[in-house]
Structure 1
Amino acid sequence: MQRLTIDTDYLRERLANLLAIPSPTGYTDSIVRHVCQEIEKLGLGYELTRRGVIRAILPGYEKRPARALVSHLDTLGAQVMQLKDNGRLELVSIGHWSARFAEGARATIFSDKGAYRGSILPLKASGHRFNEEVDTAPIGWPHVELRVDAMSRDKRDLQRLGIDVGDIVAIDPGPEFLDNGYIVSRHLDNKAGTAAMMAALKAMVEEGEKPPVDIHWLFTIAEEVGVGASAALTHDVAAIVSVDNGTTAPGQNSDEFGVTLAMADQTGPFDFHLTQKLAKLCKDNDIRYQKDVFRHYRSDSASAVVAGHDVRAALITFGVDASHGYERIHMHALRSLAELMTAYVGSPVEITRDVHEIKKGLGGFTRQPMSAADVDGILEEVEHLVEEEVNQSAGGV
């Protein structure tokens, strides 16, 4: 199957709706409910884990080895660390992000007595009071506080409001969709990836053609704190492709246009054969792409592998400028990602040995090129592998 046409209006609408739902790690029930309802609208069922990881299966001609596409619904945020004597809140971050980008943010505090609005400010916020000290104040979470927009002059006022240590704080995204295709917002990581997955799923459902194997569409709820897809996979899954943000910054090769294929993150290289397959699908389907290596990055795929799942893992991304800060992306990258997903989901199986979790002998085992001659003959080798396994059950990357 070639890439399918993506409904970019639907993609944009899904992203706008997702951004409107607060979902810092640990406070994801509402966004889980929303995504489940959208999956139902597309005519698919779903399963939920105890804590809310979503699994929707698009049936294929064969049940296994299944392929999984995964995005995370949780975002960065903060948590109340201490009720301060001045009636403000000391915070600790949820996920890894700098307090530099928290300063000035509008936020919502979720307490036992309801939600309150507030602003995150540096300890020395008034230029009229502190003059140049405002510019020399240190950066860090101990050097900011949350001013609650309610009568909170001291710690006792905060307690009367029902605010307590551990309460979740959601940061306003402040989205802006520009006519030229740029999108500026917090939390594009990874609500943009989720929107692209939903658009790809919509295209597959409307096409109506079965993929070669079952496709598991997974939406996780704790990627920002390292849990990711560690407990999201069934034994049917042989390959997982994460959909997340790429890093457009000095020294990186990511781009805000097209697909950025991650060759490695901080846990090591991604699967050679799966990544090569994705690159070939981009070439064959005229999808712009580039490759990058992420040194300070961990994805759902990495979490699954570290947790002990013996799956082929890859990461496809949309380039994000100022990731984990005031983020910016372009619709071209999201559309390209969704197109690649449809091409991958519908692509024929190749490594048929992957139908087995464990198999004796070298029959059908993959081979990586070791010389120029090997590179020239790689296609012939793949054909030979397929021929060896022709009598076995269908499956693959």
Structure 2
Amino acid sequence: MTANAPAPTSPIDRAYLLEILGRLLAIRSPSGMTDQIVLTVSEELDRLDIPYSLTRRGAIRADLEGARHSPDRAIVAHLDTLGAMIKQLKPNGRLEIVPIGFWSARFAEGARVTVHSDDGRYFRGTILPLKASGHTYNEEIDTQPVAWTNLELRLDERCHGIDDLARLGVNIGDTISIDAQPEFCDNGFINARHLDDKAGVAALLAVARACRETRARLPVDCHLLLTISEETGVGASHILHGDVAELVSIDNGTIAPGQNTCEYGVTISMQDSSGPFDWHLTRHLLALCRDNAIEHSRDVFRHYRSDAAAAVEAGNDIRTALVCFALDASHGHERTHVDSLMALADLLYAYVLSEPLFRRDAMKLGPVADFPHPPPAPEQPSADPAVADQAPPRQPGSEALPRA
């Protein structure tokens, strides 16, 4: 974890960041049920006087105008969260459920939830293991496997059979939202479900607000993308347009043994499960951290992917990077710290004010002459002993070129 001299005064309004995060956490938005949070964020963009448009399903693209329109850049975070869905109505009056998104049944046990019915009504309940009473099952509680097939939803209604559930209006396929249960501690720690990625959205909105309040002059257009299906793998695959050359994704950096996430700073991911991020864009973000005295670290994540992966897999030829706020117990009982969110926001603010990496990125295709050239690398050893000690001459065009 590194930082230089004490950082200058941050342009990010800490109180606003925490306030908007609290508002976002209060909205239920599992994948597939994101209309309300889309409307809430749209209203906030209206208040900030930031133009935006929506896709058919509700992904948001907000626009911060820069001095040039191409090559432009984008920053993406996701509004959707984990959740669950009713799989079957059970003869005992309870409900079989399946997850929305990818999360462990271990963290579903004991969750307080809301079932959203087709007619707009909702029902409260608790997710429980099939063997939930120690007075009845004794040690069997501890030996039953952790699996979604070993869970059921107990509604807070008088339901003792399938007919009772049907009369209530409960149906197979009803969406289940999980209570966020946020707690903002005086020492800066924030505990809640769904900090992934509502904490990232809050940081991005705080950056947008800072740009407006400081009347920042951006060198190039920057699009703020808020997606609605990242937890199910779709992510930013459908919201980009051709002029975007750089895409920075916001997500969580996991705090765990074997990881190098900075708990009170921002973490730059070098690779996730989809592969390495763009070498040049990643090093540019690291340089911005050093130049602006932002506490930061580098990390590699093996078991998750972000909005950026979906964008590349959809056929977009763009440079991508992943910046992370720290998150303990991701996709479970999550915890972050406001200092990490502020460091993330400070980096994003510095990024939108920085020059684009390469002028050539305005074109999808171009000549090799203006393609970035790496510095000379050590030569590969020769398999032929006769020439092993002879270094080949440098090839024309191997000199490093300026970035912009």
TM-score tier by shorter-chain length is over 0.9
Counterpart residue number, 2:385: none
Counterpart residue number, 1:381: 400
Distance 2:185 2:370 in 1: 50
CA shift, 1:255, in A, is 2.3
Aligned with 2:144 (options 137, 140, 144): 137
Note if contact 2:72-2:356 (Cα within 8 Å) is conserved in structure 1: no
Q: Map 1:182-197 onto structure 2 (within 5 A).
A: 182-197=189-204
CA shift, 1:350, in A, is 3.6
Counterpart residue number, 1:30: 36
Counterpart residue number, 1:259: 266
Counterpart residue number, 2:384: none
**Unmatched runs of 5 consecutive residues or more in structure 2:** 1-7, 380-398
Q: Map 1:140-151 onto structure 2 (within 5 A).
A: 140-151=147-158
**Aligned with 1:363: secondary structure?**
helix
CA shift, 1:353, in A, is 0.5
CA shift, 1:306, in A, is 1.0
Counterpart residue number, 2:383: none
Counterpart residue number, 2:5: none
Aligned with 1:280 (options 287, 291, 294): 287
**Aligned with 1:208: secondary structure?**
coil
Note if contact 1:3-1:340 (Cα within 8 Å) is conserved in structure 2: no
Aligned with 2:79 (options 70, 73, 80): 73
Q: Map 1:2-13 onto structure 2 (within 5 A).
A: 4-13=10-19
**Aligned with 2:368: secondary structure?**
coil
The answer to whether structure 1 residue 214 and structure 2 residue 224 are counterparts is no
The answer to whether structure 1 residue 19 and structure 2 residue 25 are counterparts is yes
Counterpart residue number, 2:342: 335
Q: Residues 329-350 of structure 1: CA distance to partner in whole angstroms, max 9, x if unpaired? A: 0101100000001100001234
Runs of 4+ that moved beyond 6 A: none
Counterpart residue number, 1:172: 179
Aligned with 2:162 (options 145, 149, 155): 155
Q: Residues 320-370 of structure 1: CA distance to partner in whole angstroms, max 9, x if unpaired? A: 1110000110101100000001100001234111111112x2122112334
Distance 2:327 2:228 in 1: 20
The answer to whether structure 1 residue 298 and structure 2 residue 317 are counterparts is no
CA shift, 1:146, in A, is 0.4
Q: Map 1:359-370 onto structure 2 (within 5 A).
A: 359=366, 361-370=367-376
The two structures, once aligned, show a CA RMSD in angstroms of 1.4
When Rg is computed on C-alpha atoms for both structures, the one with the higher figure is 2
Counterpart residue number, 1:247: 254
Length-normalised TM-score, structure 2: 0.91
For these two proteins, the number of residue pairs brought into alignment is: 377
**Aligned with 1:61: secondary structure?**
strand
**Aligned with 2:400: secondary structure?**
helix
Note if contact 1:4-1:342 (Cα within 8 Å) is conserved in structure 2: no
Note if contact 1:185-1:327 (Cα within 8 Å) is conserved in structure 2: yes
Structure 1 residues 83 and 251: CA distance shift in structure 2, 3 A: same
Counterpart residue number, 1:390: none
CA shift, 1:290, in A, is 0.4
Aligned with 1:42 (options 39, 44, 48): 48
Note if contact 1:4-1:343 (Cα within 8 Å) is conserved in structure 2: no
Which structure is higher in helix share? 1
**Aligned with 2:210: secondary structure?**
helix
Of all paired residues, the percent bearing the same amino acid is: 54
The more displaced of 187-196 and 349-358 is 349-358
Counterpart residue number, 2:393: none
Q: Residues 127-178 of structure 1: CA distance to partner in whole angstroms, max 9, x if unpaired? A: 1111121121111000010001112111111111111111100000111100
Q: Residues 45-65 of structure 1: CA distance to partner in whole angstroms, max 9, x if unpaired? A: 210000000000000111111
